[in-house]
Amino acid sequence: MVDSRNLLEKVSDISTESEFFVPIPPGYKKGRTRYCFVMGTVMSGLGKGIFSSCLAKLMQDKGLTVAPIKLEGYLNIDSGTLNPFRHGEVFVLDDGMECDMDLGTYERILDQDLTRANFATSGQIFSSILHKERHGDYLGRDVQMIPHVTGEVKLKLRRLAAETDADIVFVEIGGTVGDLENAYYIEAMRELAYEEGPNSCCFMALTYILEPKILGEQKSKAAQLGIKQLMQCGVQPDIIACRAANPVSEKVRQKISVYSNVPFERIFDMPDSASIYMIPAMLRDAGLDFKVARLLNIEDRIDLRHERKAWARWCDFTDKIGSANHQVTIGITGKYTSVRDSYASIINALEHAGIALASETEIKWIETTTITDGNVAENLKDVDGIIVPGGFGTRGAEGKIACAKYARENNLPFLGLCFGFQMAVIEFARNVCGLTEANSTEIDPDCTGPVIDILPEQKKIEGLGGNMRLGGRDIELKARTLAWKLFGKKDSVRMRFRHRYEVDPRYIEVLEKAGLLFSGKAPNQPIMQILELPSHPFFIGTQAHPCLTSRPLNPQPMFVGLVAAAVQRHYPDEKLADPVQASRKVCG
């Protein structure tokens, strides 16, 4: 029998003489990286990503290098084709990977840019295996779920560990333990813990404690059964986090402890919080970070001086939560407003800006499908500023155009994002330039005034299915414009994109002569990426999604500018910082 402690040294591939399959990427050092596995029971949507990212932040504060990864069970190659109504927003990484919204949570909490190495789906895993099988990489073996599929998962985790030189890799498995598509992920985690040896892995289960109003007490049976499913997979949890609407009673935690063989001090209470940014303190107060450090035997790697500085900076931010001096209402005029997760990054970016400016930012959700020129004033009468967000397709487009027109004509602070940027161009072309037939070929392929269109160089690759502009792009800023000032008078700035339609270069001169200023463009290309109206208090739009790069400690300047302009509008008698002053003070 092969000793698991020496397995990585003895076997790194598969042959007909062995049932072991332990693929090891170049540069991987056994014993260097530890693994934390976060799984959910009872139901999805409990906040596994929030829990995992907050715990990872606490370990990062201790001077440790952390690398998160989200494992999804669906067969899509990425999240790009998922409907926001079903799965929330699609989060785009700088390298162009379209992924789950939890990657946005990791980027915000950890303040680090992630890559496609931090995200995997069953579609990716199976595609890689089939590619290898066709190329004869399995030495003629029949390819099976075990060891090949589980081996591919382990390879991806170890490759991430090697590439990042991480002290801890945080592995979040989407969905719940009982989901059929998660069975091979959980098996791979079990195998990895066996192969890496003692103190190498920490299994954490996030569960939910029911509290039916009709009963008036908390019930733990569903949580117990969910944990039992995990244990039946051969995984003994080390830590259990109990999500609930209210603090979980000691009696309930005792029941779960006895039922799961997890010591009572590692049954953690995690009730609902007013802000996700308060959760790191909740975990820290419970000592969960040091429990994990002891379980993984990495206490000697902790840098307490680094932790004191990092935690003090974080507390400076969280101390501002709930201490607003002003209150404003921002309208989000979209077509996915019934599902708040569709605009998760926008919500977070507004929260970051509001906290930084000591302004409570309320959101009014405005469904644009029913908005017209006739009722737009009624719908926007009580907002201090609006965001016209991204989207695809024709539904709600005319409503967004009506909102842009109202904001332009009534000096209402306006921020257009991606599709919202395009709708602002169409509105201006129609109502200022006199191009009454102006439209986007996405909305009307046969329109006679295609001010928004697929650019010629993109049309050339459309047949290849690669005409979406994705990921981080540099934007050249025009000097002495609002955008240039908001970003600290920089010559260029980097933002993330996810679109395929652009301002048609043939109309740029007409639009600019009428007063629309394109203050940001792609380097060496006639691709307009930021617009503004110099005569307006705050009217700016971008083809990018700036919300994707907003962080709690580093708010996004465009959102800071919008909130500052909204505060100025709501409190005209007070001497308040204008958008540029506010942005420079907050963003440095």
Strands, sheet with 34-40, edge to edge from the N-terminal-most edge strand: 119-121, 66-72, 168-173, 34-40, 201-208, 239-244, 267-271
| 170 touches 57 (CB < 8 A) | no
CA distances from 1 to 7, 19, 403 (A): 10, 11, 70
Alpha carbons 358 and 327: distance in angstroms, whole number:
9
Per DSSP bridges, beta strands 528-532 and 517-521 are: antiparallel
Residue 175: Cβ within 10 Å count: 20
Q: Calculate mean pLDDT across residues 34-59.
A: 93
On whether the pTM is more than 0.85, the answer is: yes
* Short-list 579, 397, 553, CA closest to 481: 579
Choose between 537 and 323: higher pLDDT.
537
Alpha carbons 150 and 187: distance in angstroms, whole number:
7
| 65 touches 164 (CB < 8 A) | yes
Highest-confidence segment of 176-180, 217-221, 322-326, 408-412: 408-412
Alpha carbons 325 and 341: distance in angstroms, whole number:
28
**According to CATH, where is 3.40.50.880 located in the chain?**
326-587
pLDDT tens track for 379-431: 999 999 999 998 877 888 899 999 999 999 999 999 999 999 999 999 999 99
What percentage of the chain has pLDDT greater than the value 70?
94
Q: Tokens 């569903």 label which residue?
A: 222
Q: Calculate mean pLDDT across residues 460-486.
A: 80
The pair of three-digit structure tokens given for residue 379, joined into one six-digit string: 């719908």
Per DSSP bridges, beta strands 414-417 and 385-388 are: parallel
Per DSSP bridges, beta strands 502-503 and 492-499 are: unpaired
pLDDT at 261 over 60: yes
Predicted confidence at residue 17, as pLDDT, reads 59
Predicted confidence at residue 46, as pLDDT, reads 84
**According to CATH, where is 3.40.50.300 located in the chain?**
24-317
Q: Tokens 């603090």 label which residue?
A: 247
pLDDT tens track for 575-588: 888 888 888 888 87
Q: Tokens 């001096």 label which residue?
A: 325
pLDDT at 458 over 80: no
CATH classification code of 326-587: 3.40.50.880
For residue 271, say if its preceding peptide bond is cis, omega within 30 degrees of 0.
Answer: no
Cα angle value 23/26/28 (rounded, 5°)? 80
Alpha carbons 103 and 582: distance in angstroms, whole number:
29
Choose between 17 and 402: higher pLDDT.
402
CB neighbour class for 319 (10 Å; exposed up to 12, middle 13-18, buried from 19): exposed
Predicted confidence at residue 104, as pLDDT, reads 94
As a whole number, the mean pLDDT across the chain is 90
Predicted confidence at residue 460, as pLDDT, reads 57
| 22 touches 30 (CB < 8 A) | no
| 529 touches 123 (CB < 8 A) | no
End-to-end CA distance of the chain: 61
pLDDT band at 1 (very low <50, low <70, confident <90, very high): very low
pLDDT at 456 over 70: no
Alpha carbons 391 and 403: distance in angstroms, whole number:
15
Residue 540's φ and ψ, nearest 5 degrees, are -145, 145
Per DSSP bridges, beta strands 469-477 and 517-521 are: antiparallel
pLDDT tens track for 542-580: 999 999 999 999 999 999 999 999 999 999 988 888 888
| 328 touches 385 (CB < 8 A) | yes
Alpha carbons 343 and 336: distance in angstroms, whole number:
8
What percentage of the chain has pLDDT greater than the value 90?
74
Residue 378's φ and ψ, nearest 5 degrees, are -65, -40
Alpha carbons 379 and 405: distance in angstroms, whole number:
13
| Domain 24-317 class, CATH top level | alpha beta
Predicted confidence at residue 6, as pLDDT, reads 57
Predicted confidence at residue 525, as pLDDT, reads 87
pLDDT band at 440 (very low <50, low <70, confident <90, very high): very high
Q: Tokens 């056994």 label which residue?
A: 30
pLDDT band at 465 (very low <50, low <70, confident <90, very high): very low
pLDDT band at 165 (very low <50, low <70, confident <90, very high): very high
Predicted confidence at residue 575, as pLDDT, reads 83
DSSP letters for 112-131:
----GGGEEEHHHHHHHHHH
Alpha carbons 452 and 442: distance in angstroms, whole number:
8
Name the DSSP letter for residue 217: S
What residues does 503 pair with on adjacent strands? 452
**One-letter-per-residue 3-state SS of 16-41:** CCCCCCCCCCCCCCCCCCEEEEEEEC
Over the range 532-545, which residues count as b (16 or more CB within 10 Å of their CB) and which as e?
bbeebebbbbbbbb
Residue 60's φ and ψ, nearest 5 degrees, are -65, -40
pLDDT tens track for 70-113: 999 999 998 888 877 677 789 999 999 999 899 999 999 999 99
* Short-list 142, 170, 143, 141, CA closest to 157: 170
Predicted confidence at residue 216, as pLDDT, reads 81
| 124 touches 100 (CB < 8 A) | no
Choose between 342 and 258: higher pLDDT.
258
Alpha carbons 149 and 176: distance in angstroms, whole number:
19
pLDDT band at 139 (very low <50, low <70, confident <90, very high): confident
* Short-list 57, 39, 35, CA closest to 47: 39
Name the DSSP letter for residue 149: I
The pair of three-digit structure tokens given for residue 276, joined into one six-digit string: 């996700």
Strand ranges (DSSP E) for 247-316? Answer: 267-271
What residues does 539 pair with on adjacent strands? 414
